[in-house]
Homo-oligomer: A and B are copies of this chain.
């Protein structure tokens, strides 16, 4: 991949095939410097190399010309939507990474949970030593990670299915769904790898000194999942890409255009009305749900939907209404853009969890179904109260959930931990 310059024009990065070494002795050709980038935090079995080129001449015929080419006279022609097309390979990469993140989190959580059932500390009333899973804080950390693993698994399955459908449509020349798929894969990659890296590290901490030993397997999972959160798009950059798409969606609503059906909630007046109803600061206007109401899946989903709706609309107003240049306005409001993007992805993940549960109904045993439903609730509610949720405060600060409701939610989480 190199920048294509034709005379004074820069056409951006294109693909070329370049011979790197002499065929006789394997040494680099003149002007080419090759090397290894050195030790990494993980994946040291993979050799990541670098290559630098100084005044290396590549014949025109070495350019890969499926989507763009240069004629002998220097005329440049390219297939329209080239960028969208070349992006689709990256989408596949992100889709795969989101799936790898699931297995890392599930693996570490399994190790830590098993450990917690055999490692004993402290005595019960009968003088028998207790396994550390007995303690509420250990349960809280591990079970929320189990719930999150399932949420991540179902979201990854959903993402793969959407990606496959989109690739079929692409083959038929329909590129319309690609921006949505780009948002979905970017958001899920950022969310899954970020949550997995944090979760894996917390699972390691749950095992105390034993988790610090390489033999536990956990240090390797920690370092690998740190890698997942780092490459194939730095997560904060991906959050901003999600945000860019979300703001465009709201633009489309304003312009009366139709949205992809999974984004249609941004045009849904009821969410707006609900938001309008509770935006007044008096406590009487907050939602009326109490106690076990929060164990209802539609109530949970509504909390996430309204939060995402409110944050996206609010940041759209800020960015589009700014008197600064678009770039300056974008930079100024970067933090609420990221928060809104996370809220959208968290809503998507919860919705996917719910859809998968509905689809599984009848095909799995009743006890398993009940268990998955409990995990779904635990994921939904603990992501509101949990310490690690980014901007958990946005759930409540505008009075959408009152203090009394928050304690109901906490008690529900506590109950689910039994």
Q: Which residues of A contact B (CB under 8 A)?
A: 37-41, 124-125, 134-138, 140, 197, 201, 204-205, 208-209, 211-215, 219, 222-223, 226-227, 229-231, 234-236, 240, 281-283, 325, 327, 331-336, 338, 385, 387, 389-393, 395-399, 401-404, 406, 410, 414
Contact = CB atoms under 8 A, between A and B. Distances in A.
Given A213-B39, A391-B387, A136 B399 contact: no
Q: Decide if the interface of chain A is mainly helix, strand, loop or mixed.
A: helix
A211 B208 CA distance: 26
Contacts of A229: 205
Given A230-B208, A325-B125, A402-B281, A40 B395 contact: no
A229 B219 CA distance: 14
A223 B212 CA distance: 9
A414 B335 CA distance: 9
A105 to B, nearest CB: 16
Nearest 10 pairs between A and B by C-beta? A387-B390, A39-B214, A281-B283, A136-B334, A41-B219, A398-B403, A397-B406, A137-B334, A208-B234, A397-B403
Taking the full assembly, how many copies of this chain does it contain? Answer: 2
Contacts of A402: 281, 397, 399
B335 A222 contact: no
Contacts of A137: 236, 240, 334-335, 338
Contacts of A336: 410
Contact of A212 (B135, B214, B226, B398): B226
A176 B243 CA distance: 56
A231 B214 contact: no
A276 B374 CA distance: 36
A136 B333 CA distance: 8
